[in-house]
Amino acid sequence: MVLAEGYFETINNLDFTWTDIQNPSRDQINMLAKQYPFHELNLDDCLSKVHIPKIDKYKDHLFIMLNFPETIQGEGKQDYDIPKVSQLSIFVGTNYIVTIHRSEVTSLTEMFQHCKSNEKERETAMGDSPAFLLHSVLDVLVSDLFHRLTKIEGNLDDFEDEIFDERTKSAEAKKINLLRREITSLRRIAIPLRSRIFEISKEIQRFSKDDLTPYYNDVEDHVEKIIETLEEAKETIEIYKDVYFMLNTEKSNKILSILTIIFTLSIPITVISSFYGMNISIPGRVEAPPTFLGPYTSMIIVIIISTILTLVMYWYFRRAGWMNFD
């Protein structure tokens, strides 16, 4: 059964309710204050943009603030996303649960809509207590984190081939930095989530007649796996960053070596030709008769001497191993 309460919708199941509010207004928060025994500071936190996960414990309810990745419009079309943090506020009591989020959390919104329109889905997700429904909400949101990790792992696998491909080198630095930022953002969300869920599992049992410990332990295990995967991804992307830096340094050194050798081999012809450009009498100049090799005596002398010196230098460089670029 779905009831419209003021400015928001509430789903009823058995003897408890679920209210979900997206982008809450001050009027909606004031309406909640009249209907539930919520502390005014907690209600103000629901409107705050400060993302600090916490749990406030009261005799008849819990106030929970958690962070999850904000859903980006058109997500999936880009290879790399820098997830923005979406703050989720949750009030849990003996016969109600209220979820409040300032931005869209698609998985949570879809879950609410499914429970709203499908009785079977509502019974499965909401169970027989607010504590079970909270588990369902956390499980869906944590599963959404897994989907993001799957994409990250796929991008890391692509790097293993692309990072050694000379044709894609120019784009690799940007990809590495974007993926590092994405991994770092998710770690900032997942690491505090682990301790918060542990606290919830200890406090939530008083709102359910059934033992929900195995359910919350399962969510904790999922968060642990997420953190382990993120730590491995962090180490892997750091290795790729170092490899990319080494490969680019090696490539730059090769380019500089080639340019240096070309410049060095051009020194003889530069020096010798500079003599023949002086305004003094030098044997072989066009103006200095006789021109024993014809009118192009100066050019021929410069070419011969420069070629001999260049070949000698080239032979010496090869012998010293300075021209091995393999």
Chain CA centroid to CA 315, Å: 51
Angle at 171 between CA 165 and CA 175, to 5 degrees: 105
Whose structure tokens read 């790097």?
159
- Report DSSP letters for 151-194, one per residue: HHHHHHHHHHHHTT-GGGHHHHHHHHHHHHHHHHHHHHHHHHHH
Q: What is the pLDDT of residues 267-306, one digit of tens each?
A: 777 776 676 666 555 555 555 544 566 666 666 777 787 7
pLDDT reading at 3 higher than 50: no
Confirm if 34 and 5 have CB atoms less than 8 A apart: no
pLDDT reading at 151 higher than 90: no
Q: What is the pLDDT of residues 103-123, one digit of tens each?
A: 778 888 889 989 988 888 888
Confirm if 257 and 325 have CB atoms less than 8 A apart: yes
- Report DSSP letters for 5-70, one per residue: ETTEEEEEETTEEEEEEES--HHHHHHHHHHS---HHHHHHHH------EEEE-SSEEEEEEEEEP
Q: What is the structure's pLDDT at 218?
A: 92
- More confident: 63 or 13: 63
Share of the chain above pLDDT 90, in %: 22
Whole-angstrom Cα distance, residue 36 to residue 39?
Answer: 9
Q: What is the mean pLDDT of residues 171-192?
A: 83
pLDDT interval class at 96 (50, 70, 90): very high
Q: Which residues on adjacent β-strands are paired with residue 12? A: 17
Q: What is the pLDDT of residues 241-253, one digit of tens each?
A: 888 788 778 777 7
Confirm if 69 and 144 have CB atoms less than 8 A apart: yes
- Tell me the whole-structure pTM to 2 decimals: 0.73
Q: What is the pLDDT of residues 136-149, one digit of tens each?
A: 999 999 988 888 88
Q: Which residues on adjacent β-strands are paired with residue 280? A: none
* CB-neighbour burial class of residue 166 (10 A; exposed 0-12, middle 13-18, buried 19+): exposed
Structure tokens at 58: 């009261």
Domains in the chain: ranges and CATH: 2-249 (3.30.460.20), 266-320 (no CATH)
Whole-angstrom Cα distance, residue 107 to residue 226?
Answer: 17
Confirm if 93 and 60 have CB atoms less than 8 A apart: yes
pLDDT reading at 161 higher than 80: no
